[in-house]
Amino acid sequence: MPQIVLREALKRGLEEALDNDPRVFMMGEDIGEYGGAYAVTDGFLKKFGPERIKDTPISEQAFIGAGIGAAAAGLRPIVELMSMSFALVAFDQIVNMAANLRYMSGGQISIPMVIRAPTGAGVQLGATHSQSFETWLAEVPGMKVVCPSNPYDALGLMRSAIKDDNPVLVAEPALLYGAKGEVPDEYYEIEIGKADVTRTGTDITLISYGYGMRPVNEAADTLAGRGLSVEVIDLRSLSPIDMDAVIASVKKTNRVVVVDTARRRGGIMAEVTTDLQQRASEWLDGPIMRVGSVDVPWPYNRGLEREVLTDAADVLAAVAEGYGL
């Protein structure tokens, strides 16, 4: 199977949507002439022209809001935020408008819109460019949130996001744009709201998504080396969360560690933890262990940032603390 990087997988998903559906167009800061801050849309302007590849002013509220309006009118906009941290500037539009419009209009309006944004820390961008607000937006009813961990999922989820009639946030882990993986030439989609059991086992379940799959897989390898049978779940979607898959796994392994590379406090893993507590506590042989990045603003210094960011050692420490393994 051909190997491509995650950036190319995203690009393929976007390009085929632009090829196949004239209602699809893109907006964002420097996605055209410049080619996109992370080069995902490089070459698109030349191929699709300025009407469909729209460079915007640095006005996140205005262009996210304009995307919502265009979607309400029947187009299918794909809007790029240059950083997930910039979503804060447009939160009013994303939450009050995109997510609420359908409900408060009694179902009269749909917002078939994709918002894409690079997310996460790890490349020394400091406090304002390293945050992961997909965990906040996953709390908001009326929209969906996905976060791929590899090129295969990136393409499959992007296809589903673009086809979806709701606002969908695609959180693209910035550290993974160059990550390679197998992607078949045959068409496939990945259903939003379905987790992926990426490794089956019987002794312990490790759960994460997005960039968090990297420390989780590393930790799983280490544990396997110690003779443990590890099950690994990639949530893929943060809203809706596939709790059925999570619970089915925990019933089998009776041990669980939930892992986020976003800050530990609040966040999606608090949600997973609470649901597990309510629905599967009698199946557990120990505490639900939760791992996340340190609850401080993201530091710039490389050593500090690495220490704050969740890594495999943090996951292994939680396994040891919770279950003595």
Partner 1 sequence: MASSTKSSSTTSRETAKSPKNGKNSAADLDKSGIGAETDYLDLFRQMYLIRQFEIACGENYSKGSIRGFLHLYIGQEATGVGAISTLREDDYIVSHYRDHGHALARGLDINRSMAELFGRSTGTSKGKGGSMHLFDVAKRFMGGHAIVAGQLPLAAGLALAQQYNKTDDLTICFFGDGSTNQGVYHETLNLAAVWKLPILFFLENNMYGMGSSIERVRAGGIDFYPGMATYGIPAAEVDGMDVLAVKETTELAVARIRNGEGPQFIEAKTFRFVGHSLADGQKYRGQEEVKEWEERDPTITFPTKLIAMGLATSDQIAEIKAGVDLAVENSVKFAEESPDPDLSEIHTDVLA
Site for partner 1 in 101-140 (CB under 8 A): 101-110, 112
Q: Is 129 a catalytic residue?
A: yes
* Comparison of 63 and 136: residue with beta carbon closer to partner 1: 63
* Comparison of 85 and 310: residue with beta carbon closer to partner 1: 85
Q: Can you tell me which of 6, 40, 53, 97 binds partner 1, judged by CB under 8 A? A: 97
Q: In angstroms, how far is CA 281 from the centroid of its own chain?
A: 27
Catalytic residue (choose from 8, 129, 231, 271): 129
Q: Can you tell me which of 126, 142, 266, 287 binds partner 1, judged by CB under 8 A? A: 142
Q: Does 263 bind partner 1 (CB under 8 A)?
A: no
Neighbours of 114 (CB within 10 A): 28
* Comparison of 110 and 202: residue with beta carbon closer to partner 1: 110
Closest by CA to 145, choosing from 59, 87, 206, 205, is 87
Helix axes 312-323, 213-225, angle to 10 degrees: 60
Q: Candidates 70-78, 116-124, 154-162, 243-251 — which segment interacts with partner 1 by CB under 8 A? A: 70-78
Q: Does 70 bind partner 1 (CB under 8 A)?
A: yes
Catalytic residue (choose from 8, 29, 60, 172): 60
Question: Which residues are part of the catalytic machinery?
Answer: 60, 129
Footprint of partner 1 (CB under 8 A):
25, 51, 54, 56-57, 59, 61-75, 77, 92-93, 96-97, 101-110, 112, 141-142, 144, 164-166
